[in-house]
Homo-oligomer: A and B are copies of this chain.
């Protein structure tokens, strides 16, 4: 068994879990909690950065971050499944993953502002900066929602995880402004059962 160090609410972990299920590899992966706020020594030995997801292979080798793990799982599944081999499709998927990871990075910084700082130390202009990034990225995606392929690629999976994280942590405030993305996410959820199964409680 491979071991996935995780936390139930992490959107980057969710990418890996959805990819694993789409690739038919979920039953080869055991999930184990990891505390990233106060990481224990065994976890830091697996990933010095103290970040999740971290995948521990059967030989003890560890892999991170989510992009690397997903590429590894795709490779294990034969290659070219969630990460297309054909260059145009591949770079479109990688670009959409990067845009969606960027939404997530900004959303995480908003969450961390609350998690790590008392109210007087929270900086509104910093929060605004992150909200602006998210808003601009969503506007671009709303103007032209990505195609959904039979097997979802890592770009589509990451966008779904990003929108799901905005629902979880930012009260779904995005929904009123981006109706085509709401429809896009509904369609993704209907096509990819792993999305509902990996929804944080």
* Residue interface mask A139-156, B partner, CB < 8 A = 1: 110000000000000000
- Identical copies of this chain, number: 2
For A75, the chain B residues whose CB sits under 8 A away are 87, 91
Question: For the complex, what is the distance from the CA of A52 to the CA of B106, rounded to whole Å?
Answer: 15
Question: For the complex, what is the distance from the CA of A98 to the CA of B72, rounded to whole Å?
Answer: 13
Q: Is the interface of A mostly helix, strand, loop or mixed?
A: helix
Chain A: residues with Cβ within 8 Å of the partner, total of 36
Q: With contacts A71-B91, A116-B129 known, what are 15 further pairs, Cβ within 8 A?
A: A44-B136, A49-B106, A49-B136, A62-B95, A64-B99, A65-B101, A67-B98, A68-B91, A71-B94, A75-B87, A75-B91, A116-B126, A117-B123, A117-B126, A121-B123
